[in-house]
Structures are given as C-alpha cells and as structure tokens.
Amino acid sequence: MPTFRLYDTQSRSVKPVETQEPGHLKFYCCGPTVYSYAHIGNFRTFIASDLVVRTATALGWRVTYVSNITDVGHMTQDDVADAGGEDKMEKALKSKEGDAFANIWDLARHYADAFEDDWNRLNLQQPTVRPRATEHMREQIVAIQGLIEEGHAYETPTGVYFRVSSFDEYGKLSGNRDQDSLMRAVRAVVQDDNKEHPADFALWKKDDKHLMQWFSPWGWGFPGWHIECSAMSRTYLGDTLDLHAGGEDLVFPHHECEIAQSECLTHSPFCGHWMHVRFLQVDGEKMAKSAGNFYTVRDLLEKGHDPMALRLSLMSTPYGKPANFTMQSLKDAMSTIERFREVEKRVRAAGISESADGEPDTETQRVYDEMLEAMCDDLNTSVAIAKAIEGARLFLRDSDLTTSQAQSAQWFLRKTDALLGVVGGTATESLVEEPVVEGRPISALIQERAEAKASRDFAQADAIRQMVDSAGIELRDGPNGTEWRRKVT
C-alpha cells in the first residue's frame, strides 16, 4: 500500500498523514454557514475532503469524519454595524430572500437541508457526524468557562474574549505571528474598547436582542464563531485530531483561533495536519457570495448539467492549486463521465449484474493501483482521472466484452467509483421528466422515427431527428434502440 501524503499548511510541506490509532483517521472538515445556498466553490472544498475519506478508506482505514454546520455566530462585516458586525443568519433573514421564512430557525433548517441535498447529489460520503453549532451550546459554554478559569479568556460588558497574548504559539499556522501585522489586520470598525488587545476574539457575545440566544453564565447571548469547531471536534474526535480541513480563507483567523482555544483548554496538540483547499474561480474571476458571481449546485443541475460531470470538473484540478471553473470545463468533464457509463452499459450487455463482484486482470489491477497511488500523492486528481480514463479505455477497445473482461470492468468501475466517486449517480437521469416536442412525448417520436427507418424512409427519419434536435434533444441510435438526451449548452 502506498503512503498517504498531503500538504500540511503548518509545516508548509507534503507529509504522510499520521493517525494516532493505527488505521483510524480522525478527520474534521469545517462545514458551511447556512445563511444561503452553498455555491460550487464551497463544494470544491467538500469534494476534496470527500476524496480524503475515499482515499483513506481505499487504504483500508477506518475514518471518523466530522463535518459541521454553522447555524449561529458567524459574523459578517458591515460598515453600519457595531462591534463585531452582524450575525450572517440574522442578516439573511432580513434580506429579500429571508421573507420566505417564518423565523431564523426556519431559515437555518431550509438552507441546511438544501446543503445536504446538494451534498448527496454530488455523491459525497456521509460524515460520521454532522454536528450543528446550535445543538452544542452546552459544550461551547463549558469550553468558554474552562478558558476563563485558566486565564485565557475574560469577560467584558459586551462579551467574553480570548486573550491572544496568553497563547505564545498564536500565529503558528498562518504565520501571522508578529503583533504589528496582527494589529494592522484588525479593522477599525470591529474595535471594542473593552478588549484588552485588538487581536482578542469573541468567544461569547452578550446580546438579548439576538434572534438566536441562550442563557449563559454571562447572561443572554450567543457563541462566537470559532468556539463551535473547538467544542464539537473535541466532543466527537477527542482532544487531538489527525487531520483538519477547510477552505484557504479559514487559515486565519478561524483555524488559528481554533488552535488557540483548543490547545489552551486541553493542554494537548489540537491537530497535527492541516489541509486547505484553494479557492475556485469562475471564468478567471474570483467567486464570492458577496460578489454575486457564483453558481450554486442546484442552478447548474436545474439547467440539465449532470451532477457527476460537475463533481468531476470540480475535482480535476488538484485541491492545492487555484482552479478555474468554466462551462467548457463542465462539458469536458461530461465526455469523461459518458465514457464510464459506456463501460457500464457494456458490462450489463455482457450479462454481468450490478451486484456482481468481478475480478480484475493484471492490467486492470495495475491501472487501479496507479490511480490509488496518485490519490495518495497529495490527492493528485489530474493523474488519478487520467488513470480512470486509461482503465475505461481497456474496455472500450472491443465492442463486445468477454465474460472475464466484463468481470474485470465491473471490478474496475466499482473500485474507481469508491475512490473517485464519479461513476455512480446515473440514477438521477431517470428522474428527469420525459420531454415533449411539438406536443408529443419523445418516446412517440422515437417510435415513429424507428418505423420510418424500418421502411427506409430516411428523409422522414432525419426530419424527426432534426425537429427534436432544434428542441435541444439529441438522439443516438444504438444496438438497443434509440436514446435521447438533453444537449448541454
């Protein structure tokens, strides 16, 4: 088995993923704040995490995978807001889209459910636990109390703050170590005169007007953003994690603050390996919710794009490099997905059932081994996908597969899907409604065209194909009749 190696932000080098318990990976990935629909950039991060889980599993490891949902405490910056900005959830409720919701809990539930739908459509593995900040209030309050008791936090008239100066190693992850740059990083608008130092960050906000509030030793209020991850990761993974992932923007302050809180509280190393996913750009431009130039998963799927093609296009550039999403890249990915499906069809045509196991021949085994090796090499998805295509081509060379070839192909598809997650998900096709062209269902038109072809009336057959083509439907004649598919634009 190859060694699983990933880039580690803190040591700035690629190093082996080490587990405390042999063969058991404790993995935490920072999830979304559910104030809106997640966009494809969010999912680039979650797909990278998914690939960590799949690769570890392929190596035979057990993975305890925790990915949270932030539904309170994540502040937005706003020029008119007072210290600390505004809670993103509250802001969303006040927006135009927020009118659709009865209250903030309803809004949180809606976007969290939508997030999980998108997650499933993209064939992401279920986390072992998907904790929510609002459901772990006790753990957060206890953690804050612990930090106060140890002198790492203090109460002010507006909240409880972490005392950055009490943790010598603050800045070890991001490199933001010197006080001058920390000072400069603090915007004037978030100053709270009661803080001892501008870099101190909120653990608890006192606010009896907040739409989500809890009673604490410091009165009514709500937790700061960073404490939830420290509290929840400790609850489910213990004091020390093996691997922690998130988007590159989280390096500072979020993960830096998590380290400070957790290590001060537990007196143990928080995490030995940090993985950060580079931002996704769209058509060469930065994508951000605030910029409004983002695609959501549901936008693209509603337009008829295939979820597996979207997944593949989002993972085709390795996570550590900036990726550029374009409609062309989505189309390119679709061609690859169709090749996998073509292999699947040929396997079925050879009489191998979906539930059959299959055995690889040596060539197939070799290609798979190389694919796994690429994934172990810091998730080199570019090479792994090339290997997946190489494997598919082994079975597309001959039009009919022998039984042993088909068994080999079956094995390869299974293994490739388990590792890359891009073969499955074909079931979604059948959910698409049958299109109607000129008032007639497509199946009737296909039938009519088949009859025209049978009587060698090719002009009529071509006229029908032309008609549905202009309606955006493509017809493909195959050995088992004619299939239709929506053309992707």
For the segment 392-411, give every residue that binds RNA (CB under 7 A): 392-393, 396-397, 399
User: Which one-letter amino acid corresponds to residue 151?
Assistant: G
CB of 361 to RNA, least distance (A): 17
User: Token pair for residue 58?
Assistant: 């392929």
- Residues 325-354 interacting with RNA (rule: CB under 7 A): 326, 328-329, 331-332, 335-336, 338-339, 342
CB of 398 to RNA, least distance (A): 8
68 is a contact residue toward RNA (CB under 7 A): no
- Residues 210-239 interacting with RNA (rule: CB under 7 A): 225
Length of the chain: 489
- Residues 301-330 interacting with RNA (rule: CB under 7 A): 316-318, 320-324, 326, 328-329
Report the C-alpha gap between 489 and 475 in whole angstroms.
16
Per the omega criterion (within 30 degrees of 0), is the bond before 131 cis?
no
CB of 21 to RNA, least distance (A): 27
CB of 232 to RNA, least distance (A): 15
* Count of positions on this chain that bind RNA (CB under 7 A): 91
One of 477, 484, 486, 488 touching RNA (CB under 7 A)? 477
- Residues 11-40 interacting with RNA (rule: CB under 7 A): 12, 30, 32-33, 38-39
Do the Cβ atoms of 144 and 153 come closer than 8 Å? yes
463 is a contact residue toward RNA (CB under 7 A): no
Query: Who contacts 222 (Cβ-Cβ below 8 Å, separation ≥6)?
Result: 72, 73, 87, 204, 205, 207, 210, 212, 213, 214
Please give the helix or strand (H or E) that residue 121 lies within, else none: helix 104-121
Q: Which is nearer to RNA, 230 or 329 (CB)?
A: 329
Q: Which is nearer to RNA, 19 or 121 (CB)?
A: 121
CB of 472 to RNA, least distance (A): 14
Q: Which is nearer to RNA, 63 or 464 (CB)?
A: 464
Q: Which is nearer to RNA, 19 or 112 (CB)?
A: 112
Please report, for residues 33, 101, 107, 137, 323, the alpha-carbon distance to residue 92 in angstroms, rounded to integers and kept in the order given.
11, 10, 8, 22, 28
Q: Which is nearer to RNA, 133 or 475 (CB)?
A: 475
- Residues 235-294 interacting with RNA (rule: CB under 7 A): 246-253, 277-281, 286-290
Place of tokens 């996913």: 277
- Residues 154-183 interacting with RNA (rule: CB under 7 A): 174-176, 178, 181-182
CB of 47 to RNA, least distance (A): 10
Do the Cβ atoms of 64 and 28 come closer than 8 Å? no
Report the C-alpha gap between 483 and 421 in whole angstroms.
25
User: Token pair for residue 353?
Assistant: 């059932």
Q: What is the dihedral sign for C-alpha 153, 157, 159, 165?
A: negative
Q: Which is nearer to RNA, 76 or 156 (CB)?
A: 76
Helices (H) and strands (E) in the chain, counts: 16, 20
Report the C-alpha gap between 304 and 240 in whole angstroms.
43
Q: Which is nearer to RNA, 256 or 417 (CB)?
A: 256
CB of 217 to RNA, least distance (A): 23
209 is a contact residue toward RNA (CB under 7 A): no
Q: Which is nearer to RNA, 19 or 329 (CB)?
A: 329
Q: Which is nearer to RNA, 198 or 307 (CB)?
A: 198
Report which DSSP code applies to 191: -
Query: Who contacts 245 (Cβ-Cβ below 8 Å, separation ≥6)?
Result: 27, 28, 29, 30, 45, 48, 49, 52, 274, 275, 276, 277
Report which DSSP code applies to 189: G
CB of 485 to RNA, least distance (A): 8
Query: Who contacts 214 (Cβ-Cβ below 8 Å, separation ≥6)?
Result: 137, 141, 220, 221, 222, 223
88 is a contact residue toward RNA (CB under 7 A): yes
Do the Cβ atoms of 29 and 67 come closer than 8 Å? yes
CB of 386 to RNA, least distance (A): 4
Report the C-alpha gap between 364 and 401 in whole angstroms.
14
CB of 307 to RNA, least distance (A): 18
Report the C-alpha gap between 322 and 319 in whole angstroms.
7
Q: Which is nearer to RNA, 141 or 392 (CB)?
A: 392
Taking contact as CB under 7 A, which single stretch among the options 136-144, 299-307, 383-391, 420-428 is the one that binds RNA? Answer: 383-391
